[in-house]
Amino acid sequence: MNNDTVSQPTSIDELRDALLCCDKAVVVGNQTKSPLCMSGEPHTTVSVRGLSGVVQYEPSEFTFTAYAGTPVADVQSVLSERGQYLPFDPMLVRAGATLGGTIASGLSGPGRFRYGSIRDFFLGAKMILGDGTIVNVGGKVVKNAAGFDIPKFLVGCCGEFGAMAEVTFKVFPKPIDSATLSLRCDSAEQASQWMATAAIRRWELDAIDYHHATSTIYFRQRGPRDTNQAIAADMKTQYAELQPVDDVVAETFWSSINELDWHAPAAVIVKIPSTPRQFPSLCDAIDQAIPASLHVSGCGSVVWAAVESPDSLQTLETVLTQQSHRGLCVRGKAESLHLNRPSTTKIEMAVQRAFDPSGRFKRQFASHPHGTVSS
Amino acid sequence: MQQAIARLTQRLPPDRVRQDAAFNAAFESDGLTAFHQKPLAVVIPESTEEVIATVRWCHDEAIPFVARGSGTSLSGGSLPVADGIVIALNRLNKILDLDPVNRTAVVEPGVVNIKVTEAASKDGLYFAPDPSSQTVCTIGGNVAFNSGGAHCLKYGMTSNHVIGIKAVLGNGDVVGWGSPSTDAIGADFPGLFTGSEGLFGIATEITLRLLPKPETFHTVLVGYRSLQAAGDAVSAVIESGLLPGAMEIMDALSIEAAEAAVKCGYPKGCAAVLIVELEGPRERVEYETQQLADVIARTDPYAQHVATTLAERLSIWKGRKCVFSAVGHISPDFLVQDGVVPRNRLGEALVRIQEISRDVGIRVANVFHAGDGNLHPMILYDGNVPGEFDKAEEVCSRIIKVCIEMGGSITGEHGVGMEKREFLPDMFDPATVELFHRIRRAFDPLEIANRGKMFPGADAPSLSMSGLHPLEKAGVISRE
Ligand SMILES: Cc1cc2nc3c(=O)[nH]c(=O)nc-3n(C[C@H](O)[C@H](O)[C@H](O)COP(=O)(O)OP(=O)(O)OC[C@H]3O[C@@H](n4cnc5c(N)ncnc54)[C@H](O)[C@@H]3O)c2cc1C
Ligand SMILES: Cc1cc2nc3c(=O)[nH]c(=O)nc-3n(C[C@H](O)[C@H](O)[C@H](O)COP(=O)(O)OP(=O)(O)OC[C@H]3O[C@@H](n4cnc5c(N)ncnc54)[C@H](O)[C@@H]3O)c2cc1C
């Protein structure tokens, strides 16, 4: 269900006023037709797009603070000028991702393998609660143990605990160069073994992904070109079939993963958290059940399933339920946002009430499990 | 009260509930030794079920409890509450699962930090968070305090390495959050629990992320003529694009203490030393070694020593690691502070600390995790000289106010606990503190889990920590 009313505040005060003006608000960034921006109830869409720009950036501090509606692409270019980057590989940057939407969606790209996902780089936020109060959670320094770590909690919360207005991230120096290597294998099981071994070797790889349809592992290294070559030579002694991937081809490949368009146009893309041990049987089971294009990222920590028809989602849900996995539809037409959604606990509802006593924001843990979504 | 205790003993196997004064004396305080409180009883569960039964009894009887790991908290976090019980978790010390393929370990809360790395090392893995107390402190305590160490800049604090938590909450509910996957769907409850200082309930099972052990280290010790120069050198290293595993600074007084204690052979006559350690695959470390040498050459170093053997590396670290216990050689008593400033204001913060020190007439020795702006000033005083302790306390609180003023934090790793609860409203505005209260009550409506900690309260005893933790005195652990 969607509403036509769209509010576009351009300051934090206006954002608070906009929220207080409506009974039910869905806060969005770039307001793409994403399943995550839907609500099962009539609502006003409040876009933070007008709250954009970097507020504070000191390269030697390894942090920046920016308004939540700032496009990630803008931030990336500011950081890049000073040789820094967001190592968790933000997703959908070309598609227009904003910082707030990136946090709320909780999506991280292949680079999350090396230093951790978005939760490990998000330090603090100024946010507006359901009753209009403005709070400042976390901090603006790279290390802080004071108060509850609410920033971590907000990652993946889909805007259901408050509206983020300003956010602070940790950044790292951008490695000088990168090199990608590919390795064909016989099965997902073999891929899992090889990936797991590579993950604990001395090489300290930056990303380890697996493309299921072509049974290919992709290893990404980051560092000076010469050292990348030396490490690649050592890896070759371990995996005889290892092939270097041309830089331009590699760039296109990694970008297609980040933009979630590695597959032919798909109806729905589902994020399925997994592990190196679990993903082979998960991939094989999905393969047998429905036509799907599968990509495994973060050395097995997430399986992206691009499903050709929305009708297949029900079957996918059955497979996930059988294998005790959960899925989140992040793109395209889907009847339901969550697959194999666990039932809500009273604690989860109590915490949501703590943030939003009047129930202004959409409810992750509401009684209606399925909101209708469209793309 | 005794009737309630009788009802508890009925719920547990024999000998789990201890009320004998001699035994319980050991639980009356933690590393912040000046606070003492006799608990009503100490419960020593031997299984998760016993922890759950105990917490549910607390909830039914509205009796407050404090979870306790090894009691090494330096902020009074594991201090008992009057008429409350201590739940000591050291016997829940099993590593339940260690999976080299998933690179995870599932552990009970009483597992000692270093034991995880010891168990994982046969697979080339380790647990990155390494507080200096790691040979003694427990994972449960690390989770509650979101503990850190010298490697936080590169690898983050404990919460970056916790992906799943099972817990019994203050309301008696048993919950399981997270999964073996490092990716998740929905709000991050393990992330919220980590750092909650025991105010939500007791973690009974924790899933940890493990990392591959770095192949090579390159450790450099550089002496500078001023603290400001050492602070500026840290920014120069950062701006050069390097990401060292650790960067630590010690000032002249700390060097003096370390030399007196362990004769670490640091360069004589410098105002500060900077330790920088690179780590990773040897090819990359070799490349970065040159880069680091070039950066340091531009920072006007006074002296320099590069470790060429493991023994030399350990000797550089020995001086750094012994500082806290070493100040005993130059001062009868000390207070230790734990605050954070933005890294690029480190030099300025140090000048301010020196001014405060001069102003109050109390010496301050500085060591800190320079890579992430985490200061550990040691305020040296003599408790036998009337008024010195009060002066030391004044220095402590003025330093923490400087941290807040500079946009930093009142704690980088030791937690708010009892010690800093009066400062919480200086760092967070009333609306944010109120949100903290509401969240806490969602998990623990009766506020029985670690009551009296983190939030300001009128009954706060004054801070009067002095000297070493008993385990430091015994030479078992030392602080970084
Ligand atoms: C699920 C999903 C589906 C997408 N589908 C498409 C697509 O079909 N076509 C396409 O071209 N691109 C799509 N994208 C790309 C999208 O436009 C962005 O690139 C990005 O991922 C989401 O960022 P956003 O800023 O647009 O956030 P939005 O998509 O507007 O919002 C994502 C989530 O974040 C919440 N949120 C956003 N901002 C805030 C804030 N400040 N405070 C609190 N909560 C907030 C929203 O409520 C929502 O739950 C999709 C992205 C996602 C995550
Ligand atoms: C010499 C020395 C050096 C130190 N160096 C460092 C350092 O480098 N970095 C650092 O971060 N800290 C350091 N500390 C402080 C301390 O070691 C850490 O805070 C540690 O994490 C505490 O662990 P513990 O097992 O001793 O916990 P305790 O002191 O027993 O408890 C600490 C807190 O955790 C809570 N708690 C314990 N177990 C649980 C559980 N299972 N569930 C919920 N809550 C629980 C307690 O209620 C309390 O609030 C040092 C301390 C000493 C004495």
Nearest to A224 among B102, B287, B420 (CB): B287
Distance, CA of B412 to CA of B368 (rounded, Å): 11
Quote the DSSP letter at residue B280. E
Q: Which ligand is nearest to the CA of B452?
A: 2
Q: What is the pLDDT of residues A88-98, one digit of tens each?
A: 988 888 888 89
Is residue B171 within 8 A of residue B444, CB to CB? The reply is yes
Of B123, B372, B407, the CB nearest to A200: B123
The Å distance, Cα A49 to ligand 1 centre, comes to 11
Cα A149 to Cα A172: distance, rounded to the nearest angstrom: 21
Q: Which of B13, B159, B32, B162 is closest to B91 using CA atoms?
A: B13
Chain A's closest residue to B444, CA to CA, is A347
Distance separating alpha carbons of residues B144 and B128, to the nearest angstrom: 17
* Alpha-helix runs per DSSP H in B327-386: 346-360
Pairing of β A44-47 and β A25-28: parallel
- Cβ atoms within 10 A of the Cβ of B20, count? 9
Q: How many residues does chain A have?
A: 375
Query: A145 and B185 in contact by Cβ < 8 A?
Result: no
Among the listed ranges A131-140, A142-151, B191-200, B334-343, which one has the minimum average pLDDT value? B334-343
CA distance A161 to A182: 41
Task: Give A297-319 pLDDT, tens digit per residue.
Answer: 999 999 999 998 888 999 999 99
| Chain B neighbors of A85, CB-CB under 8 A | none
Residue contact B443–A351, C-beta within 8 A? yes
CB of B198 within 6 A of ligand 2: the answer is: yes
pLDDT given for residue A1 in this prediction: 44
Q: Which residues of B touch A105 (CB under 8 A)?
A: none
Give percent above pLDDT 70 in chain A: 92
Confidence of residue A53 (pLDDT cuts 50, 70, 90): very high
What is the pTM assigned to this prediction?
0.93
CB B32 within 8 A of CB B67: no
How much is the average pLDDT of A116-139? 96
CA angle B416, B126, B177 (to 5 degrees): 55
pLDDT score recorded for residue A35: 57
pLDDT confidence of residue A240: 92
- Among B133, B192, B322, B478, name the best residue to mutate to test ligand 2's pocket (greatest count of ligand atoms within 8 A of Cβ): B133
Burial class (CB in 10 A: 0-12, 13-18, 19+), B429: middle
Tokens (6 digits) for B398: 């003025």
CA B30, distance to chain mean position in Å, is 13
ipTM for the assembly: 0.94
Ligand 2 pocket test, pick from B29, B44, B68, B112 with the greatest ligand atom count within 8 Å of Cβ, gives B68
Round the CA-based radius of gyration of chain A to a whole number and report it: 21
Residue A5's contacts (CB-CB under 8 Å, 6 or more residues apart) are A22, A44, A45
| Tens-place pLDDT, residues B346-387 | 888 988 999 999 999 999 999 989 999 999 999 999 988 999
Single-letter amino acid, residue B183: D
Give the span between the Cα atoms of B95 and B113, in whole angstroms.
11
From A139, A152, A300, residue closest to B192, measured CB to CB? A152
Q: Looking at the complex, report in whole angstroms how far the Cα of residue A39 sits from the nearest Cα belonging to chain B.
A: 15
Specify the residue for token string 């989770």: B143
Q: Given this model, what pLDDT does residue B264 score?
A: 86
**For chain B, first and last CA: distance in Å?**
42
Please indicate whether residue B141, judged by its CB atom, sits closer than 6 Å to ligand 2. Answer: yes
Predicted pLDDT of residue A374: 27
Contacts of residue A118, defined as CB under 8 A and 6 or more positions apart, other chains included, come to A88, A90, A102, A103, A106, A107, A108, A112, A155
Does B179 sit within 8 Å of A133, measured CB to CB?
no
Q: Which of A18-27, A52-61, B196-205, B461-470 has the lowest mean pLDDT?
A: B461-470
Q: How far is the CA of B28 from the centre of ligand 1 (A)?
A: 51
Atom of ligand 2 nearest to the CA of B68: 30
**How is residue B436 annotated by DSSP?**
H
What is the CA(B194)–ligand 2 centre distance, in A? 12
Mean pLDDT of chain A: 90
For residue B158, which atom of ligand 2 is closest to its CA? Answer: 11
Rg, Å, chain B Cα set: 22
Tokens coding A53:
């720009």
pLDDT tens-digit readout, B55-92: 999 999 999 999 999 999 999 999 999 899 999 999 99
Q: Which two tokens stand for residue A286?
A: 């999905």
Q: Amino acid identity, residue A244? A: P
Does ligand 2 lie within 6 Å of residue B416's CB atom?
A: no
DSSP A303-355: EEEEES-TTHHHHHHHHHHHTT--EEEEEE-BS-SEESPPPPPHHHHHHHHHH
Does A373 score more than 50 pLDDT? no
Instruction: Kindly indicate the confidence band of residue A34, based on its pLDDT and cuts at 50, 70 and 90.
Output: low
Question: Which residues on adjacent β-strands are paired with residue B177?
Answer: B165
B147 contacts on A by Cβ (under 8 Å): 145
Rounded CA separation A311/A307 (Å): 9
Quote the DSSP letter at residue B344. G
Please, what sign has the CA dihedral across residues A1, A272, B210, A107?
negative
β partners of residue A211: A216, A295
CB < 8 Å to B155, chain A: 115
Are the C-beta atoms of A46 and A361 separated by less than 8 Å?
no
pLDDT of residue A263: 87
To the nearest whole Å, the CA of B413 is away from the closest chain A CA by 6
Distance of CA A105 to the CA centre of its chain: 6
- Count of CB pairs separated by less than 8 Å, A with B: 272
Per-residue pLDDT in tens (0 to 9) along chain B, 480 residues = 889 999 999 999 999 999 999 889 999 999 887 788 999 999 999 999 999 999 999 999 999 999 999 999 999 999 999 899 999 999 999 999 999 999 999 999 999 999 999 999 999 999 999 998 899 999 999 999 999 988 898 999 999 999 999 999 999 999 999 999 999 999 999 999 999 999 999 999 999 999 999 999 999 999 999 988 998 899 899 989 999 999 999 999 999 999 888 888 899 899 999 999 999 999 999 999 999 999 999 999 999 999 999 999 999 998 888 888 788 788 888 888 999 999 888 888 988 999 999 999 999 999 989 999 999 999 999 988 999 989 998 999 999 999 999 999 999 999 999 989 999 999 999 999 999 999 999 999 999 999 999 999 744 333 444 455 656 656 666 655
Q: Contact at 8 Å (CB) between B303 and B215?
A: no
**Greatest extent of chain A over all pairs of C-alpha atoms, in Å:** 65
Strands (E), B112-244: 125-126, 162-169, 174-178, 201-209, 211-212, 216-224
